[in-house]
Amino acid sequence: MLFQRVLTAAVLLSLLVAALFLLPRLYWGLLVTGVLLIAGQEWGRLARYSGLGRALFCGLLAAGCGAILWWEQGSGEARAFISSPAGKLLYGAATVFWLGVAPAWLLYRWRARGALLTGLVGYIVLLPFWHALLYLQPTPVRLLVAMGVVWVADTAGYFVGRRFGRHKLAPEISPGKTWEGVWGALAAVPLYWIAVSVLLPELGAHWVSALAWVTLLTLLSVVGDLFESWMKRGVGVKDSGRLLPGHGGILDRIDSLTATLPFAALYFAYPLTGI
């Protein structure tokens, strides 16, 4: 299973890097929109939607994407949406959700009830993630650095937790995760950032703000992972889908990224250090 996971991850990473650096914005947008719609189908499954309900949810996601792209086209500035009133509303909703609602949701073990609530949560989880991928793609190194935080945190958390894990983080949600794994991730990510700063000095990041940023992303990656796990628990499934060998579905692969990439986009859109 580990070999299959590693092989799938290596193939996906290679394809991602190639697409990120080589595809024009239009084709990149089509690619990430396709990923979004597959994730939307999987979210509909976790929300217990019927086939028609899943189609309607994906249609609303596509409509949201279209509205954002239409606004950007009309504004004459391809990346101006994030600073518009609608963009601030969308990213503000993501901020409130991931910093406040999702941790409380996990702490009190809330169950998603009602199609409207689960649809709204899915919209807040998926649409800002999609736009962050579009917003950061013209500067692909930034997007890779932000994704790297999640990948390093996930890898360090897995191996440290497997070797030293004794205290369960949230056994009712994800029995394999431990506090030792979280501490391993929090220790590994700053080392990763130091290496990135040495190898890519052109980022010019202020150490304090950058370390605070990657620490926040690390914690959010854990929240994103746990939140999707809790949604799966609610419907009694192990994976959100079967598309990716060894990983499950698209949501299983992007769960942490849905929580972190909107904050990466905000960090670069409103820099404290002029990065």
pLDDT of residue 246: 63
DSSP state, residue 76: T
Statement: the pTM of the whole predicted model exceeds 0.75 = yes
Q: Which residues of 160-169 are buried (b: 16+ CB within 10 A; e: fewer)?
A: bbeeebeebb
Identify the pLDDT of residue 202: 67
Nearest partner of 273 among 213, 198, 220, judged by Cα:
213
pLDDT for the residue 274: 42
Comparing CA positions, the residue from 65, 67, 86, 107 lying closest to residue 230 is: 107
Q: Which residue has the tokens 């940023």?
A: 213
pLDDT in tens, the chain (275 residues): 555 667 777 888 889 889 999 999 889 999 999 999 999 999 999 999 999 999 999 999 999 999 998 888 766 555 678 988 999 999 999 999 999 999 999 999 998 888 899 999 999 999 999 999 999 999 899 899 999 999 999 999 999 999 998 999 999 999 999 999 999 999 999 999 888 888 877 665 566 778 888 999 999 999 999 999 999 998 888 888 787 676 678 999 999 999 999 999 998 888 654 44
Tokens representing residue 14 in the block: 């290679």
The pLDDT of residue 117: 93
pLDDT of residue 2: 57
CB 133 within 8 A of CB 32: yes
- pLDDT confidence of residue 260: 97
d(CA 29, CA 13): 18
Dihedral pair phi/psi, residue 48, rounded to 5°: 65, 30
- Predicted confidence at residue 232, as pLDDT, reads 92
HEC per residue, 144-175: HHHHHHHHHHHHHHHHHHHHHCCCEEECCCEE
